[in-house]
Amino acid sequence: MSSTSVRASFLSLTGRAKVLHMTWFAFFVTFLVWFSHAPLLLVIQESMGLSDQEIKTLLILNVALTIPARIVTGMLVDVYGPRKTYSVMLLATAGLCFFFATAQSFEILALARFLLGFVGAGFVIGIRMISEWYPAKQLGLAEGIYKGMGNVGSAVAALTLPTLALLIGGDDGWRYATALTGVIALVYAVIYFLSVTDTPVGSTYFKPNKSGGLEVTSKRDFFFYLLMNVPMYGALAVLTWKVEALGLLNEFAANTTYGILLAIYLFQAGQIYKVNKEIFVKPVDEILQYNFKQVAILSIAYAVTFGSELAVVSMLPIFFKSTFLIPISLAGMLGACFAVTDVLSCPSGGAISDKFGRKGSLVILLCGAAIGFYAMSHINGEWPIAVAVMVMMMCSFFLGSAAGCVFAVVPLIKRRLTGQIAGMVGAYGNIGAVLFLTVFSFVSPSVFFMTIAAGIAFAAVAAMFLDEPKGAIAEVLPDGTVQLIEVH
C-alpha cells in the first residue's frame, strides 16, 4: 500500500478508521473530564475557601487511584471487550464528574477527585480496541494517533473551561463548566456503544483463560511478574507519605494504609499464583509462550517517558517564569507546548516503529529524549528564550515519539492479554510520574532534568534487550485449534 493510500485510509470515516476516530475521541473525553479541575483550581479554592494544603491534596488524590485502576481496567477489557468497557467507563466518568461538580465540602471534593483517578485508566481500553482493527504494519501509527489525539483532552480543558466558568460567572461557574464535561461523557457513552464493534466481521476476540492476574508462561516469568508489581504499591506508599507530610493524615492512619497496601499485594500475589499454578506442574507449549521480559522493558520505558512528561508539564510554567522573569500567562502557554507536541510526536513514533522496526526505533528515540533533557538541564536566564523553547520542543518530540513507540509493541506480545499488558505498562507511566515529582520536591530544576535524562538513558539500555517482534502470535480458538496472528 502506498503512503498516499495509507494516509487516506487513516483519514477515512468508515471501516477501521471510523473505529480509530471514535475511540481516540472516547479517550479525549475521559482526559477532558479527568483534568477538568486543574485549570479551575484557583477558582475552586476561592469559591470554597480551601487552603493551599487542601489544593495540593486534591492534585495528589487525582492520580492516586489511576495506578491500580489501569491494572483492573486491563483485566476488564480483555474479558468483556473494549466496546462495553469504554461505554461503561464513560458512564462512570459522567457520574463521578457530576459528583465532583456538586460537592459542598472539601471532604466530598477529595473523595470525588480520588474516585476520578479511575477515569485515567480509560486509555488502556483503546489500546486493545485499535489492536483488534489494525494490521501489524499499521499498528504503530494507529496507536500513536489514538494516544496523541486523546492526550489533547487535558489541553482543551485548560484552554476552554476557565473561559466558560468566567462567562457563566458567580461562585458556581466552575461547577457548570466541569459538569458540562460530564454531560459530554454521558452522551458519548451511548454514541460509542452504538457505533463500534470489538472486532471486524469474522474476526475472533480472544479472551484470557483465567481472570485475577496476568497469565505468564514460565516459572522465571512468574517471579519476575511478582517483582514488577512491587513498584506499583511503592508508588501508592509514596503518595500516602506525601499526604501525611501535608498534615492531612496522622501517623496511625498512614501506617494503617501501608499495612493495607502490603495486604493487597500479598492477596494479589495469591491470585497470580492461582492463575498460573499449572506452569509449576506442566510447561506451556512452546508455540503458546511469550517472554515477560518484553512487558518489563516496555513498562520501564513508559515510566520514564509518560512519567517524566506528566512531571515536567506540571513544573514547566513555574520554571519558565522564574528563569526568564516572564508573565505567568506566557509561561503557562510555553509550558503547554510540551504536552501539545504529543499530537505529532506519538503518531510519528508509531510510524517510525512501523517502518524501521520496533526495537531500534525505541532505542534511538529514547536516546534522543535523554539528550534533550540533558540540554534542558543547562537552560538558564542567559539563554535566548526562543532557543530554550526550541530545545524543550525537541526534547518533547523525542519523548512523545518514544512513548508512541512503546505502545506500537504492546499489542504484539500476546493478543488475548493485550488489555492487561497495556494496563501494567500504563500504570508504570503513573509510577514514573510519582517518582519524578518526588525527586523534584527535593532538588533544583537543573538536577531534576538531569535525573530524568539518566532515567531515560537507563531505559534506552534496557530497550537494547527487547526482542524484535517477528513471526506470529499463537492464540487458541474456542474449538481448540491454534490460530497464528502476524506481528511483522
Tens digit of pLDDT for each residue in 415-456?
888 999 999 999 999 999 888 988 888 889 999 999 999 999
Task: Give CA–CA dist 417/395, Å, rounded.
Answer: 32
Measured between alpha carbons, how far apart are the two ends of the chain, in Å?
Answer: 15
For the chain, give the mean pLDDT: 88
pLDDT value at residue 361: 94
Judged by average pLDDT, the poorest of 15-29, 73-87, 242-256, 323-337 is 323-337
pLDDT value at residue 325: 87
Is 50 exceeded by the pLDDT of residue 349? yes
The segment(s) of the chain belonging to CATH 1.20.1250.20 are 1-205, 210-488
Is 60 exceeded by the pLDDT of residue 373? yes
Task: Give CA–CA dist 294/319, Å, rounded.
Answer: 36
More confident site: 55 or 366: 366
Fold classified for 210-488: Growth Hormone; Chain: A; (1.20.1250)
Pick the most confident of 51-55, 69-73, 295-299: 295-299
pLDDT value at residue 1: 47
% pLDDT > 70, the chain: 94
Judged by average pLDDT, the poorest of 253-262, 336-345, 349-358, 387-396 is 336-345
Judged by average pLDDT, the poorest of 236-250, 253-267, 274-288 is 236-250
Q: How confident is the model at residue 228 (pLDDT cuts 50, 70, 90)?
A: very high
Is 90 exceeded by the pLDDT of residue 56? no
pLDDT value at residue 9: 65
237-251 pLDDT, tens per residue?
998 898 888 777 889
- Tell me what the mean pLDDT of segment 56-66 comes to: 82
DSSP symbol at 478: T
DSSP symbol at 280: G
141-177 pLDDT, tens per residue?
999 999 888 878 877 887 788 888 888 877 788 999 9
Is 60 exceeded by the pLDDT of residue 7? no
Is 90 exceeded by the pLDDT of residue 360? yes
CATH class of 1-205: mainly alpha
Q: What are phi and psi of 350, to 5 degrees?
A: -65, -40
Classify the C-alpha dihedral 170-174-175-178 as positive or negative: positive
More confident site: 125 or 338: 125
One DSSP character per residue, 293-308 reads HHHHHHHHHHHHHHHH
- Candidates 8, 6, 294, 298; CA nearest to 138 is 6
- Tell me what the mean pLDDT of segment 453-467 comes to: 96
